A and B are shown apart, each in its own frame.
Chain A
Amino acid sequence: MATAIVELEISKLPPEITVEERYSKALVLIRLHGKPIGQALLSVVGGGIGGDELRETLMKAAGDNLWKNLLYETLEWDERGSVEVLPIATVAVCTRDRPEDLRRTLDALMQLPDEGQEYLVIDNCPSTDATKELVKNYPQARYVREDLPGSSAARNRALREAKHEFVAFTDDDAAPDPNWLRSLLRNFSDPRVMCVTGLVMPLELETEAQEWFERYSPHGRGFERRVVDGAHCNPLIVHLVGVSASMALRKSSIDYIGLFDEALGAGTPTVGGEDCELFARILRAGYCIVYEPRALSWHRHRRTWEELRKTLQGYGIGVYAFWTRMFVINREFSVPLLAWGWLWYKQIPELIASLRKQPDAVPRDLLWAQLRGCISGPMAYFASRKLLQKMKGSNE
């Protein structure tokens, strides 16, 4: 039972929306004059929904966001401070052997209004020339090959290659909205903001695996703009900050915060955690990260169950590898508390619900996969460091 993805402008609602027969539900992204302000999951009967019911559901789903945004628009007031000229940015896509997905990303990027931004495609350790050939079709994009495997190595390369102070990253399986870059950049007028992350919505929910992913670990972090201030928060609690599939960095920040940890991230034994680790380091240094829901991007989740299981396992490895690094290198001794909190308040209750076969419980194999990942995370981090040293040694 697949879910259709629908976008609706709440100021111009159609009398009815129709979706294809095979969909039983619809995930509606609600926009107000283009700005995402909420989402609603509707069940579709006979291929369509409409009328007052639709309107009421959507309004309820948007909640306070609706009238607040309308009021701010009327006032021409913006919580992000005074309007300045937006800076020019570099947009970087890091990819590895996924030309089909990358094509969609690049097509979407070409829809961004041209404000002089630079496009970089970082091809990480490719096994074929397909990506290189594909990028030739996009004359605006510069192709760069990075042979050290791992998304951190690729991102670090992007930061080194970028011409501009602000570097926006999108994953190769994401498709940013035309307003994405502008909305991200609009938040950098505050000098303490080192990083801005965006809202990530599912591009499609065709398979059960994709629906479960969106339910269990969605990339979106809600429709409320949030400033996470390192001077006042616990820098290790970063899961609410956002995801690196849609984010922008202030490049000069690396002078005092440092680059991505190349032992973490997809393409290394740790599979992930590199974004959490960078967020934590930004916050530890007392700077801010903004979550900006107006910067919208669409992410294609993994389609098969096997891939989903692997993703969740990788998530477990990544988080624990990140914590291991924080514990061992940054001497953050509260890490075991966090691990305990996650286990006690989330993982164990989920597992019990699943074992009792409660309705809506997360499938057991997914939970086991994640737990297995957590257990292997610390060792993965050390293995990854060793591997990295060996590879860097052999390159010299």
Chain B
Amino acid sequence: MENLTVSIIIPSHNRSSSLRRALDALHLQTYPIDLIEVIVVADSCIDNTLAMLQDYKARFKVQAIEENCRSAAIARNTGAASATGQLLLFLDDDIEALPPLVESHARVHSLRPGSAVMGPYPPKLHGGTTLFEVEVRSWWEEKFYQMSQPGHRFTYLDLLSGNLSLDAELFARLDGFDSAFGNCGGEDYEFGMRLLKANVPFVVAAEAVGYHYEHETNNLDRSFRRFRQEGRSNVLIGYRHPELRPILPIAAYETACSLVDKIVVAVTFFCPAAMDWLAVGLRQSLDVLESLRMRGTWRWLRAKLRAYWYLRGAIDELKSRSALSSFIQGEPAGADLGRHEIEIDLQEGWEAAERIIDEKKPDGIYLSYGELSVGHVTPKFGVEPLRGAHLRSILALDFAEPLARAIAVKGMPKSAAHSEPSLVDNTLLQNLQLFTVLEKKNLKTSS
């Protein structure tokens, strides 16, 4: 196997000590160090980042580029433009890579060329028990755990650019990150959407772990600012990919259910300054709730404030209520057409069904069992096409009851009986009776 040359691109903004830690960690990589080059894009730095980089003694090639864009998207593109490696590895400056990180990325690329490979970067463990810390940490850990499950179906929201690698050629072909996102973030999700449209598979390299020192810079106030940015960036994503509009959280504001929510939305459009003032006041009460350990109320208020700042972000882009409505309803007709759907008879066995799905890569499936209908896996936007590996969790979680009933009537699927004869032979008959019992019970309750 020929080893790939890797360009590690680190955008950084006024975090010289954390950048130094990230660079130090790269010295301990198990990957041949002469194949690694590091490109630091110092974006609008007014601290000692550039001086630190000048003095930094590295055993790999370090290239420092100065930028004045205040945008991670542009910084990453700039870094990629001057990279010489076959592989681009985007790493955040607050991530401390574990020694096998680069090697794992490279290995996955040699096994599955042309994919977008992500490594987990869970928060550096710390014993913080403030409600905010708990929320953030559990979100990240849950995210990486779910993404590393073999049956996980990736969506555009899984494209995280903190520890991401892909072919330099592929990145150039897709024109990199969208620089129009400026400083509002969200360019990684948009890029994820384009990767999915280009049929680039997402892969998690479970060993490419880096520790994320997010707690050093993140806090509640910053998170609210981020939600506002997210509102803005979601509008931009909606402009670029109109089919996503119905599933963006913005859509929820048109259909705000409770009266209070409706009033809040209306007043926000009418007089945002007053609502901002109120939101800032309520933000202070979060601290009071926390000191009283009123978790339920804290979580409720936090969710409300979060939704508020998100809406404010959307308004920053859209300006008016009518613009919001037309944004949501402006989804082009016929987006549903042209989705690739197939029919699968599950009675032929799970393995056979998985093979067909892997072959055809459909967006949706009509599931049947013999002549009985089991259900419809509806096509969705912003997710990868179905793979065989998704099938069993979809069946177990979404179609358990109709499937069990079908098995009760029609018997076991083909290959299952084949693979485990001893277990099935003895109990098959009985199992079927059990299922029939179940069916009777359900019929009774439904009638």
Contact = CB atoms under 8 A, between A and B. Distances in A.
Interface of A: 10-12, 33, 59, 66-68, 70-72, 74-77, 79, 81-82, 190-192, 229-232, 234-235, 255-257, 284-287, 331-334
Given A192-B145, A231-B135, 8 more contacts: A33-B423, A70-B431, A74-B416, A77-B395, A256-B127, A285-B129, A285-B134, A286-B134
Interface string B132-173: 011101110110010001110000000000000000000000
B60 to A, nearest CB: 31
B145 A76 contact: no
Contacts of B299: 232
A232 B412 CA distance: 39
Contact of B294 (A66, A232, A334): A334
B36 interface: no
B421 to A, nearest CB: 14
Contacts of B434: 10, 59, 66-67, 70
B437 interface: yes
B293 interface: yes
Interface string B392-422: 1101100010011001000011001000000
B378 interface: no
Interface-centre pick from B126, B129, B299 (highest chain A CB count, 10 A): B129
Contacts of A332: 293
Contact of A12 (B135, B138, B350, B426): B426
B350 A231 contact: no
A82 B150 contact: yes
Contacts of B407: 71, 74
Interface in B373-400: 392-393, 395-396, 400
Contacts of A256: 125-127
8 contacts: A33-B423, A74-B407, A75-B392, A82-B151, A190-B145, A191-B122, A286-B135, A331-B291
Contacts of A234: 295-296
B84 interface: no
A68 B400 contact: yes
B427 interface: yes
A11 B149 contact: no
Interface of B: 122, 125-129, 133-135, 137-139, 141-142, 145, 149-151, 291-296, 299, 350, 392-393, 395-396, 400, 403-404, 407, 412-413, 416, 423, 426-427, 430-431, 434-435, 437-438
Contacts of B395: 75, 77
A286 B431 contact: no
A235 B395 CA distance: 33
Given A76-B392, A77-B392, A229-B138, A70 B404 contact: yes
A27 B404 CA distance: 29
Contact of A333 (B145, B293, B396): B293
A77 B393 contact: yes
Interface-centre pick from B407, B412, B416, B427 (highest chain A CB count, 10 A): B427
Contacts of B350: 75-76
Contacts of B392: 75-77
A286 B138 contact: yes
Nearest to A78: B396
Nearest to B128: A285
A269 to B, nearest CB: 27
A76 B125 CA distance: 34
Contacts of B412: 74
A256 B137 CA distance: 13
A75 to B, nearest CB: 5
A67 B407 CA distance: 10
A235 B79 CA distance: 46
> 4 closest pairs, A vs B, by CB?
A286-B134, A256-B127, A231-B138, A11-B427
Contacts of B291: 331
Contacts of B151: 82
Contacts of A77: 392-393, 395-396
A231 B142 CA distance: 11
Nearest to A192: B141
Nearest to B139: A231
A232 B139 CA distance: 11
A234 B131 CA distance: 12
A257 B413 CA distance: 48
Contacts of A192: 138, 141-142, 145
A283 B419 CA distance: 42
Nearest to A285: B129
A75 B412 CA distance: 11
Contacts of A331: 291, 293
A331 B290 CA distance: 11
Interface-centre pick from A11, A72, A231, A332 (highest chain B CB count, 10 A): A231
Contacts of A285: 127-129, 134
Nearest to A288: B138
A285 B135 CA distance: 10
Contact of B141 (A191, A232, A235): A191
A231 B145 CA distance: 15
A81 B396 contact: no
Given A75-B395, A191-B141, A286-B133, A12 B125 contact: no
A66 B122 CA distance: 38
Nearest to A66: B434
A84 to B, nearest CB: 10
A232 B134 CA distance: 10
Nearest to A68: B400
B129 to A, nearest CB: 5
B84 to A, nearest CB: 36
Nearest to A232: B299
Contacts of A76: 350, 392
A67 B392 CA distance: 16
A256 B141 CA distance: 16
Contacts of A230: 134, 138
A379 B289 CA distance: 29
Contacts of A284: 129, 134
Contacts of A12: 426-427
A207 B403 CA distance: 45
Contacts of A10: 434
B351 to A, nearest CB: 10
Nearest to A73: B423
B210 to A, nearest CB: 15
Contacts of B134: 230-231, 284-286
A333 B294 CA distance: 8
Contacts of B145: 81, 190-192
Given A231-B135, A333-B292, A11 B431 contact: yes
Nearest to A233: B295
B396 A11 contact: no
Contacts of A190: 145
